[in-house]
Amino acid sequence: MWDYSDKLKDHFFHPRNVGEIENPSGVGEVGSLACGDALKLFLKISDRTGRIEEAKFKTFGCGSAIASASALTEMVKGKSIEEASCITNQDIADYLGGIPPQKMHCSVMGREALEAAIADYRGQDPAKAPRGKIVCKCFRVTDEEIKRVASENRLKTVEDVTHYTKACGGCGHCRPVIEKLLAEVAAEVDTSCLPRPKDT
């Protein structure tokens, strides 16, 4: 049995801001019912201040998915778009007092829904944004998504990637590709940490 924090359980049993916003400024929809998790996030942004006045959500998923979406709506209210854009999946997990490793993909889904809603507000079509090549066909996870989540959360193993994205949680055929992507991310991190040459 997973160990859920009291705050996560509270946001699951008493979710905040459930529902839709009439005439929203931006809408972000991620996940799919076929994969077991889906989230639709609605934002109302003030024309005068540029800050998020209201946030609501509708989701299909487990307790962690509901709690993550509920927490996210509380976190973004009152923030500017720029401030909200800086929220990471780890911020959502920390706000809830932690999320079991096997459920971290719920916080990632929240972050992705927020990005999609902000893109919609800015008049961009997130569906047309380059998202990379599908690596995990079972859960439709791309190489760019895996690399980004692995880099942001310092993931080391394929099991870590599965916890955060669901990739390799089905047939397992994508495992070798994920291992290669993790090696690429590790090499990039190592290179970025090298001391810069001194000016001569």
Q: Where are the domains of the chain?
A: 1-127, 130-194
Q: Structurally, what CATH architecture does the domain formed by 1-127 represent?
A: Alpha-Beta Complex (3.90)
Contacts of 158 (CB under 8 A, 6+ apart): 168, 175, 178, 179, 182
d(CA 85, CA 107): 14
d(CA 19, CA 59): 9
Amino acid at site 117: A
Task: Show the tokens assigned to 54.
Answer: 């209201």
pLDDT at 127: 60
Catalytic residue set: 35, 106
Q: What is the pTM of this model?
A: 0.79
Q: Which residues of the chain have pLDDT under 50?
A: 130, 191-194, 200
pLDDT at 33: 63
pLDDT at 3: 84
pLDDT at 192: 45
Report helix angle 175-192 to 158-165, nearest 10.
100
Q: Which CATH class is domain 130-194?
A: mainly alpha
Contacts of 172 (CB under 8 A, 6+ apart): none
**Contact of 134 with 164, CB cutoff 8 Å:** no
pLDDT at 193: 39
Task: Show the tokens assigned to 181.
Answer: 């992507």
d(CA 90, CA 159): 17
pLDDT at 200: 44
**Contact of 115 with 43, CB cutoff 8 Å:** no
pLDDT at 126: 60
